[in-house]
Amino acid sequence: MSSSESNEPNDVFISYSHIDNRPWGAGQNQWVSEFHQGLATRVGMLLGRDVRMWRDEKLAGNDEFTQRILDELRKSRSFVCVISPRYLNSEWCVRELQTFLTLAAGSASGSNVFKVTKTPVEPRSQPPELREFLGYEFFLETASGKTHEFYPSDAADREQKTGFWQQLDDLAQDIGKTLAARSLLPDPKPAGRKIIYLAQTTTDLRVTRDNVKRELVQRGHSIVPDRELPPSVDELLPLVDSSLAQACLTVHPVGARYGFIPEGESRSVIELQIDAATKHNGQSQHVIWVAPDATPQMEPKQHEFVDKLRRVYTERIGTELLEEKSLEVLKTRLSEKLEERKPAPPPVSASPRVYLICERGDLTAIRPMEEYLRQAGFGVSRSLLDGEEHELTQDHRDTLVCCDAVLVYYGSARQAWLRAKQRDLWKAAGWGRTKDMFSQAVFVASPARTEDTDFASDDFLVLDGRAPMPQALAPFVRQIRMTMGVQQ
């Protein structure tokens, strides 16, 4: 099928450099031949028919652009280019790409070109026609900066072999969808299909990103952006914004590296995507996931960026930061967010639990408050103040996940402490909280300090500690009961 002449159209034209198919390694594998065979088989399985793929199989020659190649390009529905240093240095390989794009002009050619990167190359070394297309990377980059190509057999590393077949399956499914659309075959659109912005990542998280993308696509969702982000910020930001405008959820994997800084910017492409999503797209939900194994290898600039994630970006509406959580936890969280919202069931318990947060110096001052809340029929959990630092942190997070309402006692502590506790409320969803708070309030103790006299909050009920105890807490108690639907 690959070499015999026929008038039948080609489903796929495979463009490659012949040096990339020379026998290599202990098994003397021919990479392109095995890739070709595996891809044809898998696409055929998905479409339920034989698939016609063509490539020039000559084993010797001068890589000439022959009339035969031109004829095969003219009748090809899609184009796969196997990128390597030799491919980009070959005038004829690049000419095959340019010719296909010219022939396909006006027919949504972008969706018919598939870029397979066998050997890593600098993005700037790629021809302009190729940069915009999303790639399928058949290699793994180690922490030391070395790269190992994926091979289908005789791979020394199981991850290399698994990576080959996973990437090939992703490619086959995307080609299958393109061919099905062109053949007017039914393209089922499951109810609940959503568009998700899955941020492009640094190379250390490419495999992880592909893993997340694979699962989301298998669930019937669509992923944007559908092309590589440009190297110039003037082109990059409009593409990011247009992609974000379509999405109901954005997902941002963060690894050990700060990432590529586009031309005309001082921030990495990772930070630019997070900033654009959380700043301009407040109607969507945003999940930022820091890979749990990233910290030991993290670059100094990346440490600063992750700290900024905690201080700045997580304060924006609809943003969750997942730290020290496995990839499976991320997938579960995304699944929860993408499920259709169901009406919340009525509270089972008539005794909601209030988490009373305070500093050690305010323990005596909060006792009347704690007693009043118990008498009002609430359970009360106080801040844990004795134990190891990691124990106190974990208990604080666990209590925020489980409680029904939060009351922060702002007495002897400084404003920095108060702001940290407020931010913790915004981060609670990232720690596993799935239900809304009945109420969240700050009790500003009396006498108020000069800087606190005008304290206000858009997200917290502010209670005036200068009023007598029952009256001071009345708005908080009332809000909880109203939320529960209890008659006053």
CATH of 1-187, one of 3.40.50.280, 3.40.50.720, 3.10.620.30, 3.40.50.10140: 3.40.50.10140
User: Angle formed by the axes of helices 300-311 and 415-427, to 10°?
Assistant: 90
Strands 147-149 and 439-444: unpaired
Query: For residue 227, what are the CA distances in angstroms to 46, 131, 266?
Result: 23, 8, 23
Residues 6 or more apart from 238 whose CB is under 8 A from it? none
| CA atoms 387, 439, 426, 463: torsion sign | negative
The series of mean pLDDT values per 10 residues for the chain, 488 residues long, is 64 93 83 94 92 80 68 90 92 88 63 88 82 82 76 65 86 88 52 84 87 86 86 88 89 92 90 88 79 86 90 79 89 83 48 92 91 91 88 89 93 88 82 85 73 64 85 91 68
pLDDT value of position 122:
83
Q: Classify domain 189-342 by CATH number.
A: 3.40.50.10140
Q: Is 464 left (phi over 0), alpha (psi -120 to 50) or beta?
A: beta
pLDDT value of position 27:
75
241-278 burial, b if ≥16 CB within 10 A, otherwise e?
eebbeebebbbbbbbbbbbebbeebebbbbbbbbbbbb
Q: Classify domain 353-484 by CATH number.
A: 3.40.50.2300
Main-chain dihedrals φ then ψ at residue 463, nearest 5 degrees: -105, 130
Q: Are 314 and 321 in contact (CB under 8 A)?
A: yes
pLDDT value of position 10:
92
List, in sequence order, every residue forming a beta bridge with 321; answer none if it has no partner.
288
Tokens of 235: 């082109």
pLDDT value of position 1:
42
Please, where are the H alpha helices in 321-384? 327-338, 363-375
| Domain range annotation of the chain | 1-187, 189-342, 353-484
pLDDT value of position 245:
86
pTM: 0.57
Domain 353-484 in the same topology as domain 189-342:
yes
